Amino acid sequence: MLITRKTDYAIRLLRGIADGGKKKIPVLAENEQVPRPFAYKITKKLQQAGIVAVGRGAAGGTSLNRPLAAFTLLDLLRALDDYPTVTACTRAPYHCDWCEHHRMACCAHQHMSQIQRRLEAELAAHTLQAVIFDPPDHDDPPMRVPAPREAP
Protein backbone atom coordinates (compact mmCIF):
# COMPACT_ATOMS: atom_id res chain seq x y z
CA MET A 1 0.00 0.00 0.00
CA LEU A 2 1.40 3.36 -0.99
CA ILE A 3 -0.46 5.61 1.46
CA THR A 4 -0.30 3.84 4.80
CA ARG A 5 -2.41 4.45 7.89
CA LYS A 6 0.54 6.45 9.26
CA THR A 7 0.43 8.78 6.24
CA ASP A 8 -3.34 9.10 6.51
CA TYR A 9 -3.00 10.05 10.17
CA ALA A 10 -0.25 12.56 9.35
CA ILE A 11 -2.49 14.22 6.76
CA ARG A 12 -5.25 14.48 9.37
CA LEU A 13 -2.88 16.00 11.94
CA LEU A 14 -1.59 18.54 9.43
CA ARG A 15 -5.16 19.45 8.50
CA GLY A 16 -5.78 20.15 12.19
CA ILE A 17 -2.99 22.74 12.42
CA ALA A 18 -3.35 24.24 8.95
CA ASP A 19 -5.03 27.35 10.38
CA GLY A 20 -1.62 28.50 11.62
CA GLY A 21 -2.36 28.13 15.30
CA LYS A 22 -0.74 25.92 17.93
CA LYS A 23 -2.56 22.86 19.14
CA LYS A 24 -1.75 20.43 21.92
CA ILE A 25 -1.35 16.88 20.64
CA PRO A 26 -4.16 15.40 22.80
CA VAL A 27 -6.63 17.97 21.44
CA LEU A 28 -5.35 17.57 17.89
CA ALA A 29 -5.55 13.78 18.11
CA GLU A 30 -9.12 13.93 19.39
CA ASN A 31 -10.26 16.47 16.79
CA GLU A 32 -8.73 14.53 13.90
CA GLN A 33 -9.59 11.06 15.24
CA VAL A 34 -5.98 9.87 15.42
CA PRO A 35 -5.01 7.53 18.26
CA ARG A 36 -2.92 9.57 20.69
CA PRO A 37 0.15 7.26 20.68
CA PHE A 38 0.29 7.48 16.88
CA ALA A 39 -0.17 11.26 17.02
CA TYR A 40 2.90 11.62 19.24
CA LYS A 41 5.05 9.34 17.06
CA ILE A 42 3.96 10.97 13.81
CA THR A 43 4.42 14.48 15.18
CA LYS A 44 7.97 13.60 16.22
CA LYS A 45 8.78 12.47 12.65
CA LEU A 46 7.17 15.61 11.20
CA GLN A 47 9.22 17.71 13.60
CA GLN A 48 12.45 15.93 12.63
CA ALA A 49 11.65 16.62 8.97
CA GLY A 50 11.09 20.33 9.66
CA ILE A 51 7.42 20.25 8.73
CA VAL A 52 6.11 21.12 12.20
CA ALA A 53 7.41 22.81 15.32
CA VAL A 54 6.59 21.47 18.76
CA GLY A 55 6.69 23.69 21.82
CA ARG A 56 6.44 22.45 25.38
CA GLY A 57 4.72 23.95 28.37
CA ALA A 58 1.53 25.91 28.87
CA ALA A 59 2.12 28.09 25.79
CA GLY A 60 3.38 25.17 23.73
CA GLY A 61 1.76 23.09 21.07
CA THR A 62 2.24 21.82 17.55
CA SER A 63 2.28 24.23 14.62
CA LEU A 64 3.40 24.31 11.01
CA ASN A 65 6.92 25.56 10.26
CA ARG A 66 5.82 26.72 6.81
CA PRO A 67 2.53 26.75 4.92
CA LEU A 68 1.23 23.40 3.65
CA ALA A 69 1.78 24.65 0.09
CA ALA A 70 5.55 24.44 0.77
CA PHE A 71 5.44 20.66 1.18
CA THR A 72 4.46 17.91 -1.24
CA LEU A 73 2.98 14.50 -0.73
CA LEU A 74 6.42 13.08 -1.58
CA ASP A 75 7.99 15.22 1.19
CA LEU A 76 5.47 13.82 3.65
CA LEU A 77 6.10 10.20 2.65
CA ARG A 78 9.85 10.71 2.98
CA ALA A 79 9.42 12.39 6.38
CA LEU A 80 7.47 9.39 7.64
CA ASP A 81 9.91 6.86 6.19
CA ASP A 82 7.06 5.60 4.03
CA TYR A 83 9.07 6.24 0.90
CA PRO A 84 7.16 4.61 -1.93
CA THR A 85 8.99 2.13 -4.13
CA VAL A 86 7.39 0.04 -6.84
CA THR A 87 9.85 -2.79 -6.21
CA ALA A 88 12.75 -3.46 -3.86
CA CYS A 89 15.32 -3.23 -6.65
CA THR A 90 14.64 0.48 -7.20
CA ARG A 91 15.61 1.36 -3.63
CA ALA A 92 19.20 1.58 -2.45
CA PRO A 93 20.99 -0.35 -1.03
CA TYR A 94 19.18 -3.29 -2.66
CA HIS A 95 21.59 -5.92 -3.98
CA CYS A 96 20.55 -7.95 -7.02
CA ASP A 97 22.42 -11.20 -7.61
CA TRP A 98 21.13 -11.38 -11.19
CA CYS A 99 22.44 -7.91 -12.08
CA GLU A 100 25.78 -8.68 -10.47
CA HIS A 101 26.08 -12.01 -12.29
CA HIS A 102 25.16 -10.54 -15.70
CA ARG A 103 26.87 -7.19 -15.07
CA MET A 104 23.83 -5.27 -16.28
CA ALA A 105 20.39 -4.19 -15.18
CA CYS A 106 17.57 -6.38 -16.42
CA CYS A 107 14.68 -5.04 -18.50
CA ALA A 108 12.31 -5.40 -15.55
CA HIS A 109 14.55 -3.13 -13.45
CA GLN A 110 14.71 -0.56 -16.22
CA HIS A 111 10.91 -0.50 -16.54
CA MET A 112 10.43 -0.37 -12.78
CA SER A 113 12.92 2.51 -12.56
CA GLN A 114 10.93 4.43 -15.16
CA ILE A 115 7.70 3.79 -13.25
CA GLN A 116 9.45 4.84 -10.02
CA ARG A 117 10.53 8.16 -11.51
CA ARG A 118 6.99 8.84 -12.76
CA LEU A 119 5.51 7.96 -9.36
CA GLU A 120 7.90 10.34 -7.60
CA ALA A 121 7.12 13.11 -10.08
CA GLU A 122 3.38 12.64 -9.55
CA LEU A 123 3.70 12.67 -5.75
CA ALA A 124 5.93 15.76 -5.94
CA ALA A 125 3.31 17.53 -8.07
CA HIS A 126 0.73 17.53 -5.26
CA THR A 127 1.24 19.97 -2.39
CA LEU A 128 -0.14 19.10 1.01
CA GLN A 129 -2.32 22.21 0.71
CA ALA A 130 -3.92 20.78 -2.42
CA VAL A 131 -4.23 17.24 -1.06
CA ILE A 132 -5.92 18.39 2.14
CA PHE A 133 -8.09 21.28 0.95
CA ASP A 134 -8.46 21.49 -2.82
CA PRO A 135 -10.97 19.29 -4.62
CA PRO A 136 -9.52 17.47 -7.64
CA ASP A 137 -9.86 19.35 -10.92
CA HIS A 138 -11.74 16.54 -12.63
CA ASP A 139 -14.99 14.66 -12.24
CA ASP A 140 -13.57 11.26 -11.35
CA PRO A 141 -15.69 9.76 -8.59
CA PRO A 142 -13.90 8.56 -5.45
CA MET A 143 -12.89 4.94 -5.82
CA ARG A 144 -12.43 1.98 -3.56
CA VAL A 145 -10.21 -0.88 -4.56
CA PRO A 146 -12.00 -4.19 -4.05
CA ALA A 147 -10.67 -6.43 -1.32
CA PRO A 148 -8.62 -9.40 -2.51
CA ARG A 149 -10.62 -12.54 -3.03
CA GLU A 150 -9.92 -15.51 -0.87
CA ALA A 151 -8.44 -18.57 -2.50
CA PRO A 152 -10.92 -21.44 -2.94
Q: pLDDT for 91-150, tens place per residue?
A: 777 788 888 888 888 888 889 889 999 999 999 999 999 999 988 777 777 777 777 777
Query: What's the chain's average pLDDT?
Result: 89
Q: Where are the domains of the chain?
A: 5-133
pLDDT at 152 over 70: no
Q: What is the pLDDT of residue 106?
A: 84
Among 47, 42, 70, smallest CA distance to 60 is for: 47
pLDDT at 151 over 70: no
Pick the CATH number of 5-133 from 3.30.9.10, 3.40.50.20, 1.10.10.10, 3.30.1280.10: 1.10.10.10
Residue range 14-38, pLDDT digits in tens: 999 999 889 999 999 999 999 999 9
Distance CA 62, CA 23 (A): 5
For 132, the 3-state DSSP assignment is helix
Q: What residues are paired with 54 via a beta bridge?
A: 62
* Confidence (pTM): 0.81
Residues 45 and 77: beta-carbon distance below 8 Å? no
